């Protein structure tokens, strides 16, 4: 893809966001107003700003990343706006914040390269642990920074600024720091993990290499379970297993990972009441329609109502789905854009993840290869979990759909993942 084609696709995505907002307004009896213009301005600043930043700071970066992100953002923003103009206004601010943070990140990496991240891997791991522990702060300490609980999980931190309160999820940034740590550690110790010692006829990896890594992973997982952040725990586990397999090439790690996942899922189901409620709602949504199964049932109704081409932007009833702007935004898209729009979204995610793994395959440096693998896996697992939850393939996990669901923390974290992929592709081509 040429740079001209990249810019044209980004421009098309910005126009799509404006068109989506306009169609929602017209469907509700309104007119073309300042909301459409403001949306176009924010998308232009964000994505053309990122486009210019990448061309200046990482000119050899893959041109396939930003157009896909912009397309997903446009579709997601249209549904967020349809579900509430106030939330859409906050989401516009988060896109601008994510743009600034991403630009600063690229500027720092331009001066020091990705070797800076590899050099300070233990500092990044300590940062990841600190971010994971933040939600465990007291809920009512009187301090400006305190924990915040929602839906039985302590995933959030509340920052009281006096004139307003900000809620953010530090785990979204912690997962990136953890992926960087894993990539650096496995790049250095991967050979030791590949060399097996035999106990009888059974091969085992060198304990001196594997045990420290397992301790780090188990500690991180324990913190997430203590917060009842089971979606992030599952994400972290999947990334850990995939990166371990990518570093060693040994399929035994996938088998052991699948076994541990099955045992852990059963244990979590028996221990946590809210997990039992979610599993019961997943298995029998219509038997508990007035309770825990209501959200899943309404999501299925929305997808069925959408049919092939959908009701049209602003003409469906996704507002009947609880938390449609976060957990169930894919169901809202399915109702208003139909099977055609849903498939387009899934294809865009598949292409984005494919670009990420393609960057990993082309990378010559072991650290960059593993980092790209981890980042692409993060995007893939998040998409799989939330779409699978909406389609009733898995129980709901609380994971949000990258670039589409409402929320600032996830948006910043996922955009940083894409920026890191762009930097990896740039450094491998120069």
pLDDT digits over 187-217, tens only?
887 666 665 555 555 555 656 656 666 676 6
Residues 311 and 336: their CA atoms lie apart, in Å, by: 5
pLDDT at res. 82: 93
The Cβ-side half-sphere exposure at 394, using a 13 Å CA radius, reads 16
Q: Give me 426's structure tokens.
A: 């740039």
Q: Does residue 307 carry a pLDDT above 90? A: no
Residue with structure tokens 């990539």?
183
pLDDT for the residue numbered 334: 95
Residue-range domain boundaries for the chain: 3-429
The mean per-residue pLDDT over the stretch 135-153 comes to 69
pLDDT-based confidence at residue 396 (cuts at 50, 70, 90): confident
* pLDDT given for residue 116 in this prediction: 85
Dihedral (Cα; 285, 289, 293, 298), 10-degree rounding: 90
Q: Which residues, at least 6 apart from 208, have a Cβ–Cβ distance to it below 8 Å?
A: 192
Residue 158 has pLDDT above 80, yes or no: no
pLDDT bucket at 250, cuts 50 / 70 / 90: confident
Q: Calculate mean pLDDT across residues 389-418.
A: 90
Quote the percentage of the chain above a pLDDT of 70: 86
- pLDDT of 386: 92
Residue 220 has pLDDT above 70, yes or no: no
Q: Which of 51, 67, 49, 80 is nearest to 13 (CA)?
A: 67
pLDDT 10s digits, 36-50: 999 999 999 999 999
Residue 395 sits at φ, ψ, to 5 deg, of -65, 155
Phi, psi (rounded to 5 degrees) for 329: -70, -25
Sign, Cα dihedral of 88, 90, 93, 97: negative
- The model's pLDDT over 53-100, given as tens digits with 9 standing for 90+, comes to 999 999 999 999 999 999 999 999 999 999 988 899 889 999 999 999
Is 265's pLDDT higher than 80? no
Q: pLDDT for 90-127, tens place per residue?
A: 899 999 999 999 999 999 988 777 888 888 888 988 88
309 vs 252, which has greater pLDDT? 309
All residues at 6 or more sequence positions from 241 whose CB lies less than 8 Å from its CB, including other chains: 253, 254, 257
């Amino acid at each position: 893809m040429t740079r001209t084609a990249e810019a044209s696709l980004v421009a098309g995505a910005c126009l799509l966001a404006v068109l989506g907002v306009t169609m929602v307004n017209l469907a509700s009896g309104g007119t073309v107003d300042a909301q459409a213009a403001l949306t176009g301005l924010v998308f232009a600043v964000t994505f053309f700003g990122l486009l210019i930043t990448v061309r200046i700071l990482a000119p050899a970066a893959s041109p396939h990343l930003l157009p896909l992100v912009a397309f997903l953002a446009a579709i997601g923003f249209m549904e967020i706006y349809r579900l509430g103009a106030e939330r859409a206004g906050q989401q516009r601010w988060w896109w601008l914040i994510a743009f600034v943070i991403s630009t600063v990140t690229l500027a720092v990496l331009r001066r020091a390269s990705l070797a800076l991240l590899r050099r300070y891997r233990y500092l990044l791991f300590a940062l990841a642990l600190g971010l994971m522990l933040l939600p465990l702060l007291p809920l009512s300490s009187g301090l400006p920074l305190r924990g915040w609980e929602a839906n039985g999980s302590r995933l959030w931190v509340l920052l009281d600024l006096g004139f307003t309160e900000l809620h953010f999820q530090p785990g979204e940034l912690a997962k990136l720091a953890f992926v960087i740590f894993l990539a650096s550690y496995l790049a250095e110790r991967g050979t030791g993990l590949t060399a097996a010692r035999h106990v009888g006829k059974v091969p085992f990896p060198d304990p001196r290499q594997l045990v420290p890594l397992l301790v780090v992973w188990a500690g991180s997982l324990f913190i997430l379970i203590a917060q009842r952040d089971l979606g992030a725990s599952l994400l972290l586990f999947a990334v850990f297993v995939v990166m371990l397999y990518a570093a060693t090439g040994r399929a035994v790690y996938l088998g052991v990972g699948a076994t541990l996942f099955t045992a852990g899922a059963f244990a979590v189901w028996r221990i946590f009441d809210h997990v039992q409620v979610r599993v019961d709602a997943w298995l029998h949504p219509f038997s508990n329609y007035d309770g825990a199964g209501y959200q899943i049932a309404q999501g299925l109704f929305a997808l069925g109502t959408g049919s092939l081409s959908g009701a049209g932007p602003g003409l469906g009833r996704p507002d009947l789905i609880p938390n449609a702007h976060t957990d169930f935004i894919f169901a809202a898209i399915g109702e208003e854009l139909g099977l055609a729009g849903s498939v387009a979204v899934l294809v865009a995610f598949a292409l984005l993840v494919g670009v990420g793994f393609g960057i990993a395959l082309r990378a010559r440096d072991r650290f960059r290869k593993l980092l790209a693998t981890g980042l692409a896996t993060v995007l893939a697992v998040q998409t799989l979990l939330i779409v699978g939850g909406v389609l009733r393939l898995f129980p709901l996990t609380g994971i949000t759909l990258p670039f589409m669901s409402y929320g600032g923390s996830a948006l910043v974290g996922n955009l940083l993942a894409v920026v890191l992929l762009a930097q990896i592709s740039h450094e491998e081509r120069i």
